[in-house]
Amino acid sequence: MVKICCIGAGYVGGPTMAVIALKCPDIKVTVVDISTQRITAWNSDQLPIYEPGLEEIVKQCRGNNLFFSTEVEKNVADADIVFVSVNTPTKTQGLGAGKAADLTYWESAARMIADVSKSAKIVVEKSTVPVKTAEAIEKILTHNSKGINFEILSNPEFLAEGTAISDLFNPDRVLIGGRETPDGNKAVQTLKAVYAHWVPEDRIICSNLWSAELSKLAANAFLAQRISSVNAMSALCEATGADVTQVAHAIGTDSRIGSKFLNASVGFGGSCFQKDILNLVYICECSALPEAANYWKQVIKVNDYQKTRFVNRVVASMFNTVANKKVAILGFAFKKDTGDTREAPAIDVCRGLLVEKGQLRIYDPQVPPEQMRKDITMVRFDWDRNVALRSLGDDELKQVTVVHDAYEATIDAHAVCILTEWDEFKSLDFKKIYDKMQKPAFVFDGRNVVDVGKLREIGFIVYSIGKPLDAWLKDMPAVA
Ligand SMILES: NC(=O)C1=CN([C@@H]2O[C@H](COP(=O)(O)OP(=O)(O)OC[C@H]3O[C@@H](n4cnc5c(N)ncnc54)[C@H](O)[C@@H]3O)[C@@H](O)[C@H]2O)C=CC1
Ligand SMILES: O=C(O)[C@H]1O[C@H](OP(=O)(O)OP(=O)(O)OC[C@H]2O[C@@H](n3ccc(=O)[nH]c3=O)[C@H](O)[C@@H]2O)[C@H](O)[C@@H](O)[C@@H]1O
């Protein structure tokens, strides 16, 4: 029986390995992590991450051919294939701080693999890493391994949170990069055989190591760039009376452009887009390509602009002050169907409103209250100037109440801000909400989920990203 061990039981390691175990009953899959808390949760009824469809798979496979363990070294030593799916955040200190990937976790995993291995292994980069990381890992493995043979593969993951299971079941492609040597090719074929249990062969792309590593950064950069493009367009729509949804539809029907990923929003979030683009920017700068670096930087700058623009729009619309006004925040996760808040635009929007002394009542169906408080007060970095932004403290936290229901959040509120596109927000009874709000009642829709016409009929003043402005808003000063 082939034995797979995955180091890192996070958003990628957990779901990916659960699906491999489900689709490959002939393979034993063990997911290991240094976090006892995470592993305990994976072995319980309360999984550490929320992902539609995941729980059923884990329940079906756990204890059969899927195991979660803190015995990192033992399981790595036993495995034929070791996936490394540890976190690779942006460095916050030292050389490359604010941009470069922090490979501390990666390097310690690689050193541990070298230390404990007694048999040949295929080591698979699952984490998103800078191009050429495989070369560094090879050096660590070969210098410490007492002659054991390691083949390094790059097998970046393209799943999106909230749809991880369907993305893994039916991927657009699986990418495997390896050394172009007989041993390298053999390792590629071994990993290909794992995916071939359920992925059609023509969707398994093989390439050299550097192309695979760079393709992951490129894919995220292109995806994020589309959002920043449509968001930049949304600002122009508001200034001209065009409707960004209509513009997106009109351009998206061109098969060369395509219709997906053109939803204007309060900004993109998630743990990877910003981190991976900054990583790309850093690599361009280190390769003496400042023009290429500046091009990609602009994608994040527009994203920051979009979040600031939203906060300014809220404040400007409400007579230039939200001090002591109650603002209902609907949605805190970075997108629907996940409890993940990493880089969620809600964090920056809430911080912006708190600095303006707003009283926030936040509701999200998946995010625990303590997570929201942690996010709001954690140290944020200005990536461009590489300085820590002002920390928010207990005083600002007193302005935050977390509630368990969207209606409760809106009672007595002056304004509602929709920051995540949860389905339940589409079917809220806005008449009921309006009746219990202060007047004039404002809705600021950062995800374009509400029916603007209907809400205006009820009496709301509505701002919706990139839509023709309400007469009320037209007179307010331009933003940002
Ligand atoms: N979150 C996502 O949707 C996607 C993430 N990625 C990439 O996958 C990688 C992992 O991301 P996530 O799963 O979101 O991170 P995560 O933070 O949820 O999980 C990483 C896990 O690795 C563990 N870990 C760190 N060092 C370790 C070590 N030496 N030994 C054992 N365990 C260790 C941590 O305790 C943590 O539980 C990152 O490089 C990310 O860029 C790629 C595609 C999608
Ligand atoms: O490397 C990663 O971590 C992953 O990053 C993204 O996945 P994810 O961040 O989970 O979610 P997305 O669906 O891409 O959404 C990212 C952000 O963009 C926003 N978004 C997305 C699409 C859109 O049209 N408009 C828009 O504002 C979302 O609300 C969210 O805040 C990519 O889609 C995955 O392919 C990739 O594997």
Model confidence over 404-415: pLDDT tens digits? 999 999 999 999
Ligand 2 close to Cβ of residue 310 (< 6 A):
no
Q: Which atom of ligand 1 is nearest to the CA of 11?
A: 13
Ligand 2 pocket test target in 273, 302, 342, 449 with most atoms within 8 Å of CB: 273
The answer to whether 272 is a known catalytic residue is yes
Q: What is the mean pLDDT of residues 217-231?
A: 98
What is the percentage of the chain residues whose pLDDT exceeds 70?
Answer: 99
Residue 390, pLDDT score: 78
Which residue spans within 278-436 are E strands per DSSP? 326-330, 359-363, 381-382, 387-388, 400-402, 415-418
What would the two tokens of residue 39 be?
Answer: 């592993």
Catalytic residue among 237, 272, 284, 350: 272
Are residues 377 and 298 in contact, defined by beta-carbon separation less than 8 angstroms?
Answer: no
* 40-45 contact pairs (CB < 8 A, 24+): 42/9, 42/14, 42/68, 43/68
Q: Is the dihedral of CA 85, 91, 94, 99 positive or negative?
A: positive
- Beta partners for residue 400, in sequence order: 360
Q: Considering only CA atoms, which of 142, 352, 288, 169 is closest in space to residue 134?
A: 142
203 by Cβ neighbours in 10 Å (0-12 / 13-18 / 19+) ranks as middle
Q: Which neighbouring-strand residues pair with 69?
A: 32
Q: How many CB atoms lie within 10 A of CB 352?
A: 18
141-150: long-range contacts, CB 8 A cutoff, minimum separation 24: 141/110, 141/113, 141/114, 143/114, 144/111, 144/114, 144/115, 145/114, 145/117, 148/117, 148/118, 148/119, 148/120, 148/121, 149/120, 149/183, 150/113, 150/114, 150/117, 150/120, 150/121, 150/122, 150/123
| Residues in a beta bridge with 90 | 101
pLDDT given at position 477: 58
Sign of the dihedral through C-alpha 435, 436, 438, 443: negative
Tell me the Cα Rg of the chain. Answer: 24
Tens-digit pLDDT profile for residues 354-375? 999 999 999 999 999 999 999 9
pLDDT higher than threshold 80 for residue 476: no
Residue 337 confidence class, pLDDT cut points 50, 70, 90: very high
Task: Tell me what the mean pLDDT of segment 315-343 comes to.
Answer: 96
Architecture of domain 224-474: 3-Layer(aba) Sandwich (3.40)
| Dihedral, CA of residue 131, residue 80, residue 76 and residue 9, to nearest 10 | 60
Q: Please, what sign has the CA dihedral across residues 75, 76, 81, 84?
A: positive
Q: Is the shortest distance between the CB of 227 and ligand 2 below 6 Å? A: yes
| Burial status of residue 380 (CB atoms within 10 A of its CB: 0-12, 13-18, 19 or more) | middle
Residue type, 187: A
Q: What does the pLDDT look like over 416-466, one tens digit per residue?
A: 999 999 999 999 999 999 999 999 999 999 999 999 999 999 999 999 999
Give the model's pLDDT for residue 393: 80
* pLDDT on residue 212: 98
Question: Please, what is the angle between helix 290-317 and helix 345-355, to 10°?
Answer: 50
Provide the residue ranges of all domains of the chain, joining segments of one domain with +. Answer: 2-199, 224-474
Q: Provide the pLDDT confidence category of residue 225 given band limits of 50, 70 and 90.
A: very high
Q: Give the residue ranges of the annotated binding site for NAD(+).
A: 8-13, 33, 38, 86-90, 127-128, 161, 272-275, 342
Q: What is the pLDDT of residue 246?
A: 98
The pLDDT tens digits of the residues spanning 13-23 come to 999 999 999 99
pTM (global) more than 0.80: yes
Q: Quick check: 336 pLDDT over 60? A: yes
Is the shortest distance between the CB of 223 and ligand 2 below 6 Å?
Answer: yes
CB-ligand 2 contact for 272 (6 Å cutoff) = yes
Query: How high does pLDDT run on average in the chain?
Result: 95
CA of 40 to the centre of ligand 1 (A): 17
CA distance 405 to 402: 9
* Fold agreement between 2-199 and 224-474: yes
How many Å apart are CA 298 and CA 380, to the nearest integer? 19
Among 32, 10, 28, 139, smallest CA distance to 76 is for 32
Ligand 1 residue neighbourhood (C-beta within 6 Å): 7-13, 32-35, 38, 72, 85-88, 105, 108-109, 127-128, 157, 159, 161, 271-272
Give residue 273's pLDDT band: very low, low, confident or very high (50, 70, 90): very high
- What are 218's two structure tokens? 């490129």
**Is residue 299 scored above 80 in pLDDT?**
yes
Question: In this predicted structure, which of 60-69, 192-201, 466-475 has the lowest mean pLDDT?
Answer: 466-475
pLDDT digits (tens, 9 = 90+) for 78-113: 999 999 999 999 998 889 988 999 999 999 999 999
- The pLDDT of residue 473 is above 70: yes
Per-residue pLDDT, 392: 83
Residues 239-257 have pLDDT tens digits of 999 999 999 999 999 999 9
| Residues annotated in a binding site | 8-13, 33, 38, 86-90, 127-128, 161, 272-275, 342
Domain 2-199 has CATH 3.40.50.720: yes
| pLDDT tens for each residue of 161-210 | 999 999 999 999 999 999 999 999 999 999 999 999 999 999 999 999 99
Distance CA 274, CA 296 (A): 10
| CA gap 206, 408 in Å, rounded | 52
Q: Ligand 1: distance of its center to the CA of 456 in Å?
A: 44
Nearest residue (by CA) to ligand 2, atom 17, is 268
Q: Inform me whether the pLDDT recorded for 479 exceeds 60.
A: no
Interval 47-65 mean pLDDT: 97
